[in-house]
Amino acid sequence: MLAPAQPARLRGLTLPPSGWSLAVLLALYVLPGLIGHDPWKNDDAVTIGVVHEILSSGNWLTPGLAGRPYPDAPLYYWLAASSAYLSSWLLPLHDGARLASGACTLLALAFILLAARELHGRTEAPAAPLLLAGSIGFLFHAHEAQPMLATLAAHAAAYWGLTQMARRPRRGAIVYGSALGLGLLTNGLAAMLPLLPVAALVAWRADNRQRVALLLAASVLLATLPAATWLAVLALRDPSYLATFSLAELNQLAGTAPPWPRLLRLLLMLPWYAWPAFPLAAWALWAKRRHLLSTPLALPLFALLSALPMISFWLDARSASALLLLPPLVLLAVPGVSSLRRGAANAFDWFGMITFSILAVLAWIGWCAMVFGWPASLGRQSLRLAPGFIAHFSVVAAGFALWATTAWCWLIGTTARSPMRGIMHWMAGLTLFWLLIATLWMPWIDHIKTYRQAAASLARNLPANHGCIVSVNVADPVLASLDYFEGIRTVPAASPAATHCQLFLFHGSPKDGGLTAGRDWRKIWQGGRPSDRRDGEKLHLYLRGGKRNTTADT
């Protein structure tokens, strides 16, 4: 006898998800965390600093940072500056700039869905955006001001174009060439070179090789037009900036460090960075091992194998660079979702549900400790890690977090059995965890990661009519933060103007920079973020010939 059907109000999402259900789930993943916090150290602060420079100076042609040239491909900065300008009536600049990252992330998810649809069909394709969004490494960058997100979207669009070459070669070539061209204007040549061997493979495997090869060659020529236009304008308006940018590109292509350690680092990073796409891709390759060259897996496999050494040689083995390995891995992993054996699929499903349910409980307990002081020991520990933090109860944040937790409980309790249920629960659980972090924990995290307080303290302790400040060992994210929050700009120690500066700003231990508190220099201030406790993590300000009057104000 058949079991009675569930009432409509208790039914979970239909799998595979499609239409509005997939769009809403991906939007809930992308949007929270883009706004509501200051620029954080590393790429987020640098990118927002460049956007701040563009909007304050009105110079869109040559990106700069804290009053200094910052030679880089400009497209992402243009997008971020435009979104910051258009949303300035509602959002601060740093929040408005990150909206560009949200748009790029949604585009990457959309293009990977379209590429998977061409390779694996409509039924299996929804697994692709779920796998991409569910990758642990992707979460780290999807909510920051990150130019590599635009490059990721360009890569995903290029794969979509290449997968269309057998069915619609003209449209596929146009999509591929457009994506390649926009990618060149986003992150330079090195980041887009891994796509060229994949195009050669597609042309070689095509039934009509000559026509496909000609179309792809024409698309590569089309791709050079946006970047060539920008470079031509640079040659007319600012030849020195063009020379600096060209030298940086050539140095990157020459490869300044041995690639093998970086390749090893990427290989060791991928199992956790691309989880769960990595094990599912390995399973799909094993299941199709006897017929790999005749299956749709040949294209993403070749793309991954060619991208790994090229990224290792031309790009740093950083978490952001590894984003470009996710599209081929995801396209490899899509068939592994449906072909996974029942026992393994159930184990993965239970692992995801238990893991994220526990993480959600821990997130709530930690929030209670911060806001209500219970558990007391955990509350004391949170205050020790974030000195000066004062927690406030927010009805909106708590209500949204409670709604998300309730939706998670409903989802895991009502979703019908399906081969895609495991990856659906994994991505939804990761979304829940990020929602709880973005709503409950964001004030605490922002307090320990922002340089707002340090910049304000430094501004208060600068002598009147202080003139220029020379900086040593101060990284770009810190320079960007000081300029963004308080308009404090420095000159490099190698600059001729540095010899006339009476103030010296150093990041780290002064002994590492060869500076001690001798007769010529006296420390007048030190400070940093609340999480910076050691001297090597703090900023130190020295005055030439000043009195010994050290102020520690963080």
Q: What is the 3-state secondary structure (H, E, C) of 80-103?
A: HHHHHHHCCCCCCHHHHHHHHHHH
Distance CA 110, CA 17 (A): 14
Q: Quick one: tokens of 405?
A: 């937790």
Question: Which residues on adjacent β-strands are paired with residue 491?
Answer: 470
In a domain, 315, yes or no: yes
Q: Quick one: tokens of 221?
A: 């020529």
In a domain, 1, yes or no: no
* Full DSSP string of 209-234: HHHHHHHHHHHHHHHHHHHHHHHHHH
What pLDDT shows up at residue 338? 87
What pLDDT shows up at residue 501? 86
Distance CA 391, CA 380 (A): 12
What pLDDT shows up at residue 11? 58
Q: Please check whether residues 439 and 505 belong to one and the same domain.
A: no
Q: Please check whether residues 144 and 184 belong to one and the same domain.
A: yes
Helix orientation angle between 395-414 and 342-372, rounded to the nearest 10 degrees: 160
Omega prior to 279 cis, within 30 of 0: no
Q: Please check whether residues 195 and 167 belong to one and the same domain.
A: yes
**Structural domain count of the chain:** 3
Distance CA 166, CA 169 (A): 6
Distance CA 207, CA 45 (A): 49
Question: Pick from 414, 449, 484: which residue ends a domain?
Answer: 449
In a domain, 194, yes or no: yes
Q: Quick one: tokens of 156?
A: 């995903």
Between β-strands 469-472 and 503-507, what pairing exists: parallel, antiparallel or unpaired?
Answer: parallel
What pLDDT shows up at residue 329? 96
**Is 38 in contact with 446 (CB distance < 8 Å)?**
yes
Give the 3-state secondary structure of 132-174.
Answer: HHHCHHHHHHCCCCCHHHHHHHHHHHHHHHHHCCCCCHHHHHH
445 CB-near residues (< 8 Å, 6+ apart): 37, 437
Q: Quick one: tokens of 204?
A: 């070689």
Q: Please check whether residues 385 and 329 belong to one and the same domain.
A: no
Q: Please check whether residues 289 and 373 belong to one and the same domain.
A: no
In a domain, 3, yes or no: no
In a domain, 48, yes or no: yes
Residue 498 structural domain: 452-544
Distance CA 222, CA 320 (A): 27
Q: Please check whether residues 101 and 81 belong to one and the same domain.
A: yes
Q: Which residue type occupies 166?
A: A
What pLDDT shows up at residue 2? 38
Question: Pick from 298, 322, 339: which residue ends a domain?
Answer: 339
What pLDDT shows up at residue 1? 37
What pLDDT shows up at residue 485? 95
Q: Please check whether residues 395 and 265 belong to one and the same domain.
A: no
Question: Pick from 317, 339, 361: which residue ends a domain?
Answer: 339
SS3 content of the chain, % helix, strand, coil (to 5): 65, 5, 30
What pLDDT shows up at residue 119? 92
In a domain, 328, yes or no: yes
Q: For residue range 312-344, list pLDDT tens digits in order.
A: 888 876 788 999 999 999 999 999 998 888 888
| DSSP 8-state assignment for residue 437 | I
pLDDT lower than 50: segments of the chain: 1-10, 517
Q: Which residues of 256-275 are buried (b: 16+ CB within 10 A; e: fewer)?
A: eeebeebbeebeebbeebbb
Q: Which residue type occupies 268?
A: L
Q: Quick one: tokens of 102?
A: 């949200």
232 CB-near residues (< 8 Å, 6+ apart): none
Q: Is 107 helix (H, G, I), strand (E, B) or coil?
A: helix
Q: Please check whether residues 512 and 430 belong to one and the same domain.
A: no
Q: Please check whether residues 353 and 333 belong to one and the same domain.
A: no
In a domain, 329, yes or no: yes
Q: Please check whether residues 244 and 367 belong to one and the same domain.
A: no
Q: Please check whether residues 166 and 259 belong to one and the same domain.
A: yes
In a domain, 167, yes or no: yes
Q: Please check whether residues 236 and 352 belong to one and the same domain.
A: no
For the chain, first and last CA: distance in Å?
71
